[in-house]
Amino acid sequence: MMFARVARRTFTSSAVNPYKVTVLGACGGIGQPLSLLLKLNDKVTDLRLYDIKNAKGVATDISHIPTNSTVTGFSAEEADGLKNALKDTELVLIPAGVPRKPGMTRDDLFNINAGIVYDLATAAAENAPNAAVLVISNPVNSTVPIVAEVFKKKGVYNKKKLFGVTTLDSIRASRFISQVANTNPTQEHVSVVGGHSGITIIPLLSQTKYANTLSKEQRDALIHRIQFGGDEVVKAKNGGGSATLSMAQAGAKFANAVLSGFAGEKNVTQASYVDSPLYKSEGIEFFASPVTLGPDGVQEIHPIGDISAEESELLKECKETLKKNIDKGIKFADSKQ
């Protein structure tokens, strides 16, 4: 009797949220824990894992977890592996590419990762033109414009369905501010806007309840730590890569938000780097700010709100760098046939 009740409940929840999700680069430092977390998400019923190495092994391993989704591995060696991983999927996460080593900037990854993202975006545009694409591969400020250009070339670009994942900056901000204020990080929220690299990451501390209680030294240190949290991990891993586990949590959180929007849940708002009207008149095509997610992807892009004079200075510098990063991505995509 008890068993029948449990079984019925499990069936109902999966039937309500039957989403197909594909991870490209699923066997890397981010890809594996991200795929694990997606296997635990009951909105996902068909999880497809693609990588140039070991996708079948990782998929078989994860597939033994008793949640109500299928997990399939697709390798680059098999004919149509990438195509089949993408066919009619609804959400594509891209953590494929190389990570930083100490001394490198995210922009130093451009030469390798731009080509990887270009090729994967081409396959996504051809096989899953209606899917939401969540770009994790760095430099995000440039890889997102590359995906946009690829989809435009293929005639299937939908700006509501393209997202640069900046959630790691948001979760770091919650954690770091809670360490200064000695509070529960799960109850802390800091709006982080701009882009995803160094000075393009702008945490709006003036909008938090600590606006008037942090000293200038505390504020400057906190801003710096949020902007350069990635470097903290790269340095600590000492040549072994960059953030993977916290990024997997961030990626799974953002994917869940997009799926919640698809499912019609209300008031799902997360920061993301999107094709944004906010600073287009200044030539900045993409910008991260709070975005409300809905059944079609982006439902509303919120302005950044009131900011302090200090934050206005940060915004000015952010825009200069962002513009260059975006132009670099667009130029790269346009140079490819």
Active site residue ranges? 196
**Shortest distance, position 137 Cβ to ligand NAD, whole Å:** 4
Cβ contact 288:271 at 8 Å = yes
Which residue's CB is nearer to ligand LMR, number 125 or number 234? Answer: 234
Q: Which residues bind ligand LMR (CB under 6 A)?
A: 99-100, 106, 138, 168, 230, 233-234, 242-243
Q: Which amino acid is located at 13 in the chain?
A: S
Beta pairing class for 286-294 and 297-301: antiparallel
**Shortest distance, position 168 Cβ to ligand LMR, whole Å:** 5
Q: Which residues bind ligand NAD (CB under 6 A)?
A: 24-25, 27-31, 50-53, 95-100, 109, 113, 116, 119-120, 136-138, 140, 165, 168, 196, 241-244, 247
Name, in order, each residue with C-beta under 8 angstroms of 102's C-beta and a sequence gap of 6 or more.
234, 235, 238, 239
Report residue 149 as tokens: 């250009």
**Shortest distance, position 163 Cβ to ligand NAD, whole Å:** 10
Which residue's CB is nearer to ligand NAD, number 69 or number 137? Answer: 137
User: What does the CA dihedral 122, 126, 131, 132 come to, rounded to 10 degrees?
Assistant: 20
State the residue number with the nearest CB to ligand LMR.
Answer: 230
Which residue's CB is nearer to ligand NAD, number 177 or number 250? Answer: 250
**Shortest distance, position 203 Cβ to ligand NAD, whole Å:** 14
Distance, CA of 117 to CA of 136 (rounded, Å): 10
- Judged on CB neighbours under 10 Å (0-12, 13-18, 19+), 115 is middle
Cβ contact 315:298 at 8 Å = no
Please enumerate, by residue number, every residue annotated as part of a binding site. Answer: 25-31, 51, 100, 106, 113, 136-138, 172, 247
Please enumerate, by residue number, every residue annotated as part of a binding site for NAD(+). Answer: 25-31, 51, 113, 136-138, 247
